[in-house]
Structures are given as C-alpha cells and as structure tokens.
Amino acid sequence: VMRRNPFGMDICCRKGSRSPLQELYNPTQVSLSNTAILHQIRRDQVTDTCRANSVSSRKRRVLTPNDLKHLIVDEDHEMIYCYVPKVACTNWKRVMMVLTGRGKYSDPMEIPANEAHVPSNLKTLNQYSIPEINHRLKNYMKFLFVREPFERLVSAYRNKFTQKYNTSFHKRYGTKIVRRQRKNATQEALRKGDDVKFEEFVAYLIDPLTQREEPFNEHWQTVYSLCHPCHIHYDLIGKYETLEEDSNYILQLAGVSNYLKFPTYAKSTRTTDEMTTEFFQNISSEHQTQLYEVYKLDFLMFNYSVPSYLKLE
C-alpha cells in the first residue's frame, strides 16, 4: 500500500458537498480551523517519530491486506476509522454503524455492544482490491483514537482477566500465562486461567517467546502495530483524553453533526491514571523498563510523556 500525499488534489466529493478531507485541510468555518491546527501538530508528531525511528518503525515496507483489518470504511462519508480496542472503540463502531447503515440505525446507543463487534456489520479495508484500497487511502479521511499506553494496558488487563465472564480469554491466554509465569501453579489455575496477576501479565508481555509465538492480542497490541501510522497517513488523531471534542469534530467534518453526536456516558469503572499507578506499584523497575520499550513508539508517536510512577532503569 503506497504512502499518499494527504493533499492529493483528486479528492472526489459527494455530490454538491465537500468531502471531510477537503473540509479538514481547507476549512470553511473558523471553528473548524482552530481545531485543525491542533490536529496538524498531532500529525507532525507522528511523522517526526516515524522519521526518527525509521529503522524500527518501517521494518516492513509494504502492508498486506491482512494489516488492514482494523480499518473500517464508510463509503457514504468517505472516511476510514482504525479501531483500537480499549479506546472507545465500541462507541465508535456504533457510530460507524449509524453512518454506514443508510437509515437502519439512528441512535448509536440503541445498538447493543456485542452487535457493534460483529465483523459483518461493518466493512473493513482488507475486503477491497488493491487498487480500491489505494484509492480509498488516498481520497478518504483517515482517523484513529489513541490513549495513554499503560492506562490502555491496565484497562485491557482489568477487562479481560479480572472479569469472571471472560472465560474465553482465561482459557486462551490466562492458562498460558499461568503455565509460563507461575511457579507451583495449582491444577485448577492451570485449567481455568482465571486469576492472572498483573505482574504475571507484564512478565508474559515482555517475554521474547510471546512475541515470537504469535502477534499480541488486539486488546494489548500497540497502536503502532494495529494501525500502521508510519505507513498510513492519518488525517486525524483523536485522543481518549479529549474524546468528546475530537469525536464531534470528526462528525462535524463529515457534515452529520446536526443529527449525530458522539455518545457520552460517565463510566464509573473507567481505568484512571491513579488506578494505573497502583497497578504498577508491584512491577520491578527492570520489568517496567522492558515494558516501556515494548510500548515506547506509542508513547513517543502520540506525545505521551513517561509516567511519573515509572522507575526506569
């Protein structure tokens, strides 16, 4: 997949209206142009990080269709969204279902969460031919949402390993983690894998064998590996910390903000910075350093500073 000039002049537009890409790079409204500057800074940060780390960040020159399965396509509004689990992706998938459903859905929150994750409900970029993929990468507005990497990691751990209902994760990953990281594990723990400690999870992530065996699960895979920001030029990088503003800005660019707002809800169980700090209390500085190395590109690329609670070696 080729890297394209984001200002490609052959941006086609919907009949009689401007495409989100045109609206982003040549805003007609003042309110949009102020926000556009912020997003330009975020884009530049990604470009600079990719350039500075070109050896590690561009190991693979060409993307394969399999690399594009996280990119959801909205044909009607000419947008592509790369979803990152644990960064409001359920709500964004719901919004994409409203946008692409041609009137089938009107309220994102009426779509059950599990329905938002059914693959056939949304079309992903890997389902197109190579010329169609290149055309969309060049002409559609591409966006993703990111989150402080360790906060996202703790959120994934809490969701997948501390909830009793996630038995498929316990069986698939928990048993493997217990077997590999726990000395004198009981037969029950080896069979169920439902009591993985955060320290064991971290040890599993930094174990070289893990990376050699198979790619990380998408819930703890780096954003860099899920969305390939050094190969694909994202026009907008939304942040979990400014989720509402960034999301509604995208809907404004798409020209749908008069009837569609991003769902807001206060989730009391949300993983916070304080909570993340607590989880890292028992991680040795050696393991913290190794874990930071795994997620380092995400920290740098999306401008997250090294957390103050880390004791890096």
CB atoms within 10 A of CB 248: 16
pLDDT tens for each residue of 222-256: 999 999 999 999 999 999 999 999 999 999 999 99
Could you read off the pLDDT tens digit of each residue along the chain, which spans 313 residues? 434 443 333 333 344 578 999 988 888 877 777 788 899 999 999 999 999 988 665 555 678 888 999 999 999 999 999 999 999 999 999 999 999 998 899 999 999 999 999 999 999 999 999 999 999 999 999 999 999 999 999 999 999 999 998 999 999 999 999 999 999 999 999 999 999 999 999 999 999 999 899 899 999 999 999 999 999 999 999 999 999 999 999 999 999 999 999 998 766 778 888 999 999 999 999 999 999 999 999 999 999 999 999 998 7
Q: Is 74 helix (H, G, I), strand (E, B) or coil?
A: strand
| pLDDT of 56 | 62
Alpha-carbon distance values, 189 to 165, 178, 186, 287 (Å): 16, 7, 5, 23
Q: Using CA atoms, how far apart are residues 144 and 236, in angstroms rounded to an integer?
A: 7
Go through the chain and tell me how many residues it has: 313
Q: Using CA atoms, how far apart are residues 106 and 128, in angstroms rounded to an integer?
A: 27
Q: Using CA atoms, how far apart are residues 68 and 227, in angstroms rounded to an integer?
A: 8
Structure-token pair, residue 294: 């795994």
Q: Which residues contact 180 (CB under 8 A, 6 or more apart)?
A: 204, 207, 209
Q: Using CA atoms, how far apart are residues 145 and 84, in angstroms rounded to an integer?
A: 7
Structure-token pair, residue 271: 């993983």
Give domain limits for the chain.
30-148+222-254, 150-219+271-296
Burial group, residue 32, by CB count within 10 angstroms (0-12, 13-18, 19+): middle
Identity (one letter) of the amino acid at 61?
A: R
- Alpha helices by DSSP H, the chain: 20-25, 30-52, 54-57, 89-100, 113-116, 130-139, 149-161, 167-169, 175-181, 187-192, 198-206, 208-213, 223-227, 243-253, 273-280, 285-301
Place of tokens 């994102």: 108
| pLDDT of 60 | 58
Q: Using CA atoms, how far apart are residues 292 and 94, in angstroms rounded to an integer?
A: 32
Q: Using CA atoms, how far apart are residues 219 and 289, in angstroms rounded to an integer?
A: 21
Alpha-carbon distance values, 199 to 9, 59, 168, 194 (Å): 51, 30, 21, 14
Pairing of strands 71-74, 236-239: unpaired
